[in-house]
Amino acid sequence: MLHLNIRIVGMVQGVYFRGSAKRKADELGVCGFARNEPDGSVYCEAESENQAALDEFAAWCKIGPPSAIVDEVRVSVGALANFAGFIVTH
């Protein structure tokens, strides 16, 4: 199992980024969460046994939904949390 911490910076709040991230994660079988941060960024944690699925999810975060403008994505490896599914939090 692999775990990524992903911070997405840009015009990423109020553009359905978190909901779209959930849809993409569900499509790829990635577990974790997406939440808005007070600084205007979106923060995701993502886990999967499939490296290719995590790579594809991280690549999607660099684009996001059509109305998003992504300026920067920071990805780091994190500690496993054993998520069950992918949720959107506030």
Q: Has 18 been annotated as catalytic?
A: yes
SS3 32: strand
The catalytic position among 18, 23, 35, 50 is 18
Q: What is the pLDDT of residue 1?
A: 85
Question: Which entry of 5, 7, 36, 50 is annotated as an active-site residue?
Answer: 36
pLDDT of residue 80: 97
pLDDT in tens, the chain (90 residues): 899 999 999 999 999 999 999 999 999 999 999 999 999 999 999 999 999 999 999 999 999 999 999 999 999 999 999 999 999 998
Q: What is the pLDDT, as a whole number, of residue 37?
A: 98
- The predicted pLDDT at position 90 comes to 83
The CATH number of the domain where 49 resides is what? Answer: 3.30.70.100
pLDDT value at residue 41:
98
Q: What is the dihedral of CA 50, 56, 6, 42, to 10 degrees?
A: -130
> From its phi and psi, is residue 10 left (phi > 0), alpha (psi between -120 and 50) or beta?
left
| Structure confidence at residue 2 (pLDDT) | 95
Task: Give the residue numbers spanning the domain of 14.
Answer: 2-89
* 36 labelled catalytic: yes
Domain count, the chain: 1
Q: Which residues contact 29 (CB under 8 A, 6 or more apart)?
A: 48, 50, 53
